[in-house]
Structure 1
Amino acid sequence: MKIEGFIKYLNDPKQLNRLYQEQGLNTESEALLIYMREALSLESEIAIFEIEETEDDLFFEKGGMNYIQFFPIDYAVELIESDLNLKGKGFSDQEIAERLLEYRIKDA
């Protein structure tokens, strides 16, 4: 899944919890992190890892694949809802994904 497809989960806690269950993620983890495979790009596939697995490293390798940390999930939700004020404003998932990526590259 690409970040644009993940926005619906970030905007809906129920869908996000279902995704956690489907992927077998430990919701008791200190943090769940969004990583992008190979590059910070709208075209990159994303993966979610528990912080205990990645040790919060900016760059992480698993199964011969390289990942770059995008954001902790909780922080991405906070950015959408308050810091960037994108939720409920009529922005498309594509526009939200683009703004998050721009924020990550320029500001974070």
Structure 2
Amino acid sequence: MKLLELVNYFRNGGSYKEFCQTQSLDQESEVVEIYMKQPLEMDNELAFFEIEKTEGNFEFSNNGMKYSNLFDFYYFLDAIEESKNDDNKSLPNDEIAKRLYNYAITDA
């Protein structure tokens, strides 16, 4: 799954519970983190890991692949909610995805 696909899913009413089930994630985890395959590029695949597995590390390796942390799901879901307010609801999903990506790589 790519960042744009994740944005599409949640802006179109996808639920966190269903997402966790389809991704085999523990929704009771302290936090699920969103990682991107290295080197970071907007269209790279994402990976999702419970913080209990990553121990909060910025870089994480899994099955021979290296990933960088973008942000956690709490931040992402807050951004999705904000994208639905009157000021942002007209923004297309690809613009929301670009803003999230730029935030993550500039550590704003």
Q: TM-score, normalised by structure 2?
A: 0.85
Identity of aligned residues (%): 38
Distance 1:80 1:107, change over 3 A: farther
- Structure 2: where are the runs of 5+ without partners? none
> Is the 8 Å Cα contact of residues 10 and 76 (structure 1) preserved in structure 2?
no
Question: Which range moved further: 97-106 or 66-75?
Answer: 97-106
Match of 1:97 in 2: 97
1:93: how far off?
Answer: 1.4
Runs of 4+ in 1 over 4 A off after TM superposition: none
1:18: how far off?
Answer: 1.2
Write the mapping of 1:1-108 to structure 2, written as runs, cut at 5 A: 1-11=1-11, 12-14=13-15, 16-82=16-82, 86-88=83-85, 89-108=89-108
Output the aligned Cα RMSD: 1.6
- Structure 1: where are the runs of 5+ without partners? none
Give the secondary structure class of the aligned counterpart of 1:48. Answer: strand
> Is the 8 Å Cα contact of residues 36 and 70 (structure 1) preserved in structure 2?
yes
Kindly tell me the number of residue pairs found equivalent between the two proteins: 104
